[in-house]
Amino acid sequence: MFRCGIAYPRCRWIVPLLLLFAIIFDIIAIAATSGWVEDEDAKSHYASMWQHCRGRNDNWDCKSLMENPWAQAVAALMIIGLLILIVAFIISCVALCCTINVTLLPLIGLLLFIVVILQFIALIIYPVKFNELIYEGHYDYTWAYGFAWGATILTIGCAILFCCLPRYEDELTGMAKTKYIYSSA
């Protein structure tokens, strides 16, 4: 006999784990020095969230982007988003891993939606202002910028989950009877 059902108690551990991955992705994106953007043709120009560099091989001339208000805004939005994400992760561990505290789940969802808004704004401002200020040809967005988007997408999914989880309190605690999606005789 084969049965297939959803094990809701596992969600108690998976959702905070997804938030941990979002935190790791954000840290990678913020700390990346190899750049968010690089010149496609000559590989002679790249820019991270903090600076942009021109040159070749070991001879690079780097200038800080933090002189520009838009770069300061991008850095502030990403860092504030990361800090709120860390707070949401800690609250989610308390709410789901220690004991089930369903009243905290919508609060976590709200915090995550705030993170999504902040990071979405930062990830839109960066390419727009980069193109206005520095654009000199064709550029590719690198893995570090992709990690920032990955963290934002993970956060969107977790925010939706945290808003939906209070409806499944009995399933999360294991008090409800398992509903099988498929059962063969």
Question: Which residues are within 8 A (CB) of 180 and not within 5 positions of it... i.e. 6 or more apart?
Answer: 3, 4, 5
Query: Which 3 state secondary structure label does DSSP give 55?
Result: strand
Is residue 1 predicted with pLDDT exceeding 50?
no
Please tell me the predicted confidence (pLDDT) of residue 89: 94
Whole-prediction pTM = 0.83
Query: Taking the domains of the chain in order of start, what are their residue ranges?
Result: 8-175
pLDDT in tens, 140-172: 888 888 999 999 999 999 999 888 877 766 666
- CA dist 69 and 91 (Å) reads 33
With respect to CATH, is domain 8-175 assigned 1.20.140.150? yes
**Selection from 38-52, 99-113, 128-142 with the highest mean pLDDT:** 99-113
Average pLDDT over residues 121-146: 83
Mean of per-residue pLDDT scores for the chain: 82
- CA dist 103 and 115 (Å) reads 20
